[in-house]
Amino acid sequence: MKAWRILWLALSFLVAILFVWGWQMLADYRIVSPVFLPGPDRAWRSLTLGFTTGDLGMKFLSTVERMFWGWLIASLLGIVLGAAIGTSPRLRTYLAPTLEFLRPLPASATIPVAIAMLGLSDGMVLSVIAFGALWPVLLATIHGFAAVEPRLYEVGRALRLSRPAVIFKIALPSASPDILAGMRLGLTVALILSVVCEMIAGRDGLGNWILLSARSFRAPDLYAGVILLGVLGYGTSVILAAVEGRLLSWRKRAR
């Protein structure tokens, strides 16, 4: 079974390589203008050049940093607020409609408001990312806490656990799959908002770099930046999936 899996993976890698080769052919024979689509060789050269002689590494790191801090603030805030709202049915009836109304609001629409209040600063960028990434975590946490098996709460009452004890010993573990799913969604939002904020506010980072590359028709640099962003998106989701698997391994055993 496992050997089959590896074989399929190898085959699908081969197909991916075939696609890259097709891309190279498209560029080599100038079927698509090289202004729009440089070959993978030129994008790769621009990528390595950016890392060895340029400051692409610094830009990459500043985007990662921005995304990470915004996401961390959002996650902590979301879990704390979500726990408070999720464990109290009264708070839920008062707040849920407001939250439901705010949920579909595009987070990027808050950028102009944040610029008006905080200017084109790093604080503005951080608060926009934190605000945008807060919603998935907050709503998932509320849902997770509200969906805890009621009998578990009854057990907590029978054992005369205090409210913090109930939250940490019963509700939080039981809601953790929902919370982690929300945090994963929040990370995607954080990456998108970091890139958008860098584009609008001109803060140094990958978003700014790809926009400037496009404006000055440096297509290889642009594709290098896009590839890097794809790697970043993929890498963070793989890391989070690994963390999730480790944190939730007790659930599999319990079943």
Partner 1 sequence: MNSDWWKGLVVPAVLLGLAELAMRFHGSVSMSLAAPTDIVIAFGRVLLNGSLLAATGGTLVSAGAGLIFGGFIGLLLGILFGLLAIVDRVMEVTIEAIRPIPSVAVLPIAMLIFGFGYRMEIAIVAFSCLWPVMIMTRAAVGGIEPRLLEVSRALRLSAVDRVIKVVLPAALPRIMVAFRLAAGIALVVAVTVEIAVNPLGLGYGILVAQQALQPDVMLAYLVWIGVIGWGLNVLLSLAQNRLFGRAGQVEVVR
Residue numbers at the binding site for partner 1 (CB under 8 A): 8-9, 11-13, 15-16, 19, 35-36, 93-98, 100-102, 104-113, 115-117, 188, 191-192, 195-196, 199-200, 207, 210-211, 213-215, 217, 219, 222-223, 225-226, 229-230, 233-234, 237
Q: Which is nearer to partner 1, 129 or 166 (CB)?
A: 129
Q: Which is nearer to partner 1, 33 or 48 (CB)?
A: 33
Total residues belonging to the chain: 255
Distance in Å, CB of 161 to partner 1, minimum: 28
Please give the Cα distance from 175 to 66 (Å, whole number). 28
Distance in Å, CB of 41 to partner 1, minimum: 17
Q: Which is nearer to partner 1, 114 or 170 (CB)?
A: 114
Q: Which is nearer to partner 1, 80 or 117 (CB)?
A: 117
Sequence-distant (≥ 6) Cβ neighbours of residue 191 within 8 angstroms: 67, 229, 232, 233, 236
Q: Which is nearer to partner 1, 171 or 228 (CB)?
A: 228
Distance in Å, CB of 202 to partner 1, minimum: 12
Contact 96, 129 (CB under 8 A): no
Q: Which residue has the tokens 């209040």?
A: 117
Please give the Cα distance from 89 to 226 (Å, whole number). 45
Distance in Å, CB of 172 to partner 1, minimum: 24
Distance in Å, CB of 200 to partner 1, minimum: 6
CA angle 83, 63, 17 (to 5 degrees): 105
Distance in Å, CB of 117 to partner 1, minimum: 4
Q: Which is nearer to partner 1, 161 or 185 (CB)?
A: 185
Please give the Cα distance from 133 to 243 (Å, whole number). 19
Distance in Å, CB of 122 to partner 1, minimum: 18
Q: Which is nearer to partner 1, 156 or 186 (CB)?
A: 186
Helical packing angle, 122-146 and 110-118, nearest 10°:
130
